[in-house]
Structure 1
């Protein structure tokens, strides 16, 4: 059984997509990041960076009592290796997937996240910062569009690379991107959106947070006002 510490963010969606694709048994422990639950003692034991998601696997492959993993990319790789699904074992194919998984972790996610912050959440508009991250998001979309020009999925076959990237493209309008300008990306995006496991993962998110509301000022302080003093 997998215990998933989760909130309805792109990084959270990655893991529910994988779990729904594989049918691996799991339970969800919601971590309301706007209310500061990511600073709870039990969660920090498993996710010392106070970010969701994290997992506890109570039945790891080596027969040990349990193992915990934080960072969404590491979780996807761990679960793929545990199940033998969505991550090839052949060397070349494996590293096609892992390169694009790390591309998302080091590029698409952080840049789109800064795009969200300066475009939506920042208390004052800083044109340079907004333009910087909107343009970088556009460049990354173009990289992905080019990659998808001659293949159905990012690494050829459907993989954890697709599960990692898709949730970060879902908010393309918030990121000020015209998805029609990236036809191969758009085709892939629509294919992903039709997958039953993806549909189920997003339906699950609505059960946990039925109505998405703008963050309050207090929630913004929790989310964006963290310094060294919050590290326990």
Structure 2
């Protein structure tokens, strides 16, 4: 239990001289954002994910089989948009050079632009979101989350992928002492799952009891705050800003 609590503390209040510096809590905030955005897209855009592509492929399978309430075109648009966002994010990361602070800053500014544009569309469009407004929202959010996943992959902070929890949870169990493993970093992995849960809960709660665009408004505020912090990170020359070595 003490090891788990130490792991939680080290993730929330990281050692700034460590290999990942301030990145772990940034990844947790981006995980909350993922939950927010997917709550909005799944509940209001017709059962489609814009961040979780594994789930999106499954939903497309449901739609192709004729299950009611699912849309193959919406899932396909989300997949293509996410791929385009990942391409854009990857290009942005590579242009930023071998400095993780600049990589994060440039990618967050791009993601902020996409999510803010989606928020504007949501505010100006009448609910329910249908037709062109619905697909515009899917495209903008898919682009933004594709960018996010590209930079998160480049930053390579262990167990904090911001979207994929299956591998995280598997590692927490399979690497545990109970399974005769080397140690599971259970605290960090539990925080990742809790952050996704918190984002999904907050997103669903806010759109069900407030304005439907509220999850995107919260996401835009989080991104603005992270972008401001990343501006400072981009000026750092601390060891964590250098690309991580092999895992």
More helix by share: 2
Common topology (TM > 0.5): no
TM-score band w.r.t. shorter chain: 0.3 to 0.5
More strand by share: 1
TM-score by length of 1: 0.34
